[in-house]
Amino acid sequence: MKPYTTKVRELPDSKVEIKGEITWEAVAKHEKKAFDHMASHLDLDGFRKGKIPEDVAKSHIPDALLVNEMAEIAIQDLYSDIIKDQNLDIIGRPELSITKLARNNPVEFTLTATVLPTIELPDYKKIAKGIKEEEATAVTDEEVTKVVEELRQLRAYGHVHGHEEEHAHEEPLPEVDDEFAKSFGEFTSVIQMREKITENLTREKSHEAKDKRRIAIMEAIVEKTDFVIPGIVLQSEQEKMLAQIETDITRAGFTLDDYLKQAQKTKEGLVAEFKPEAEKRARVQLVLNAISRKENIVPADEEVQKETERLMAMYPGADQMRTAAYVDMMLTNEKTLAVLEGK
């Protein structure tokens, strides 16, 4: 017999209310953990934090607060079972309210959470099949020469000038000969260098054509799919866009405040500007999620772990759990898009 009972009620904006009751026995088993946690955070004169004797700590921790901590730990412990029983796809962190609490009595609580919206998918495979991939255009000599010119600027000036950028460099650009090709380490001749540039540009154009079809497929599917985006999802996308802007600005040697001052904007105004694009991104991701669930697409644990380790090595300060969640989403998206492409 389960140590809890729950009842779910749907709310507006893709939210649900879960009212539940947990037996006192399920709560009581967490008493030591709750006490140890609260004792470790006590700050008393004459004692080092975390080194307060048990009897002293007990005299400074009200029983009502201890029981509340026990209840919260019990709910957290049972949370995954509760949402699994109710078959809920929760997004983000739920709001918890403990509504009835007394030692040696069942604990009553209410959880309010956002869930993934119900999405009635169209015939997405038929839609995808009707969108053909455009042939990638052949790489021209002019395009290869343009890259060579950029390499000459890079070698002479240390950077590449934009098309309309004014500059006052007096040093001449290097001659395009075999020695110039060898200076990049990978090549033995100009011919080999141009061949490699052609190969890279061909690959880029192929990827561009593939991405263009993927975008067209998702736009066509989303157009045939009607649902309301939960506020928390839209907010998350806006925050991601703001974080990306801030990263780009920092790399350029400025701060977000500098940018906002120069652009005569506020942070709130900037986030509001992101709304149309954030809605588009959120709608695409939610539809991808719905398709991946219907197709039972789940990346292998080994794949997620390998890619997570690779990213953690590149960005040592990153949060591992968030990185793993990001990797899981990206791999799922890639596999879902491959299904839509008919692969």
Write the DSSP string, 173-220: PPP-SHHHHHTTSS-SSHHHHHHHHHHHHHHHHHHHHHHHHHHHHHHH
Rounded mean pLDDT of 10-14?
89
Percent helix, strand and coil across the chain, each to the nearest 5:
60, 10, 30
Q: Are residues 139 and 209 in the same domain?
A: yes
Q: Residue 216: what pLDDT?
A: 96
Confidence of residue 101 (pLDDT cuts 50, 70, 90): very high
Q: Are residues 73 and 134 in the same domain?
A: no
Supply the range of the domain harboring residue 62. 4-115
Q: Are residues 93 and 122 in the same domain?
A: no
* Residue among 121, 80, 85, 100 nearest 24 (CA): 100
Q: Is residue 258 part of a domain?
A: no
Positive or negative, the CA dihedral 296, 301, 304, 307 is negative
Which tens digit of pLDDT belongs to each residue from 214-246? 999 999 999 999 998 998 899 999 999 999 999
Q: Are residues 102 and 190 in the same domain?
A: no
Cα–Cα distance between 152 and 143 in angstroms, integer?
15
Domain boundary among 95, 115, 135: 115
Q: Is the pLDDT of residue 298 over 80?
A: yes
Q: Are residues 10 and 111 in the same domain?
A: yes
Domain boundary among 89, 115, 141: 115
Q: Are residues 196 and 153 in the same domain?
A: yes
Q: Are residues 83 and 178 in the same domain?
A: no
